[in-house]
Amino acid sequence: MDPLIEKLASLAHDTWVEWERYRMAPARTREEHERWPQIVATPYADLSEKEKESDRAIARRYLELLRPDLSTREPPLHPPRHRLPDERRGVTRHTEVSWYERNQQGQPTVRRESNLYLTANFYEDGSLAELFACIDKAGATISVLVDAWCTALSIAVQYGIPARVFTSKFRGLGTGDSSAAPFMTNDPAIPQCKSPVDYIARWLELQLPPEENDG
């Protein structure tokens, strides 16, 4: 049997006993006997302060039993997810990205071009709430990876992880080849980048409020 249930049941019994003793006590004035039906029909908010205090004393006894149990309960596995309202503020960016493919000797050969579309939506306090990205003509692998990265970031920020945790880790992400030609963009704020994810991270940092962009 649950010990807390037993304690609460015992307290409920004691409360009932006290009530019955009081109700059946022989030394009751006529005025007090006439008052009982009125008390039963009176909502708590309309009771006198003396009558309310009697009920509060019982409530405090219940609370004393519940507090230790509440303090030992395990915290939730994760914080609540902060979802967005149906209408939210956002910014959309279109960026042209170009790069050169290299042959086996590492020499640039074919020039490739792609369009990158970014949409960042924000909570009312200006913090990032979600990020979407669409990149064309870059191949299915890059497209899927970029989309997955944005989805992971969106879920993380909705659970309270600052966006800069992501941007600081992925800013500068490239192939690891120091001789690789950079990606070129038409964005004057970020004219070159090491990869589409590098560009997204750096662009996103420029959209964050100052207190979230100090890392």
Q: Let me know if residue 79 belongs to a domain.
A: no
Laid out side by side, the sheet with 128-135 consists of 128-135, 108-122, 89-102, 183-185, 192-193
Domain tally for the chain?
2
* pLDDT tens-digit readout, 98-132: 887 777 766 767 788 899 999 999 998 889 999 99
Strands (E), 27-88: none
Domain housing 20: 3-71
Same structural domain, 100 and 179: yes
Lowest mean per-residue pLDDT among 55-59, 171-175, 208-212:
208-212
The reported pLDDT for the residue numbered 215 is: 44
Same structural domain, 103 and 182: yes
Between 79 and 153, residue with greater pLDDT: 153
> What's the predicted TM-score (pTM) here?
0.59
Same structural domain, 66 and 94: no
* pLDDT tens-digit readout, 44-64: 788 788 877 877 887 887 777
- The three-state secondary structure class of 100 is strand
Same structural domain, 170 and 117: yes
The CA distance from 213 to 207, in Å, is 9
Same structural domain, 95 and 56: no
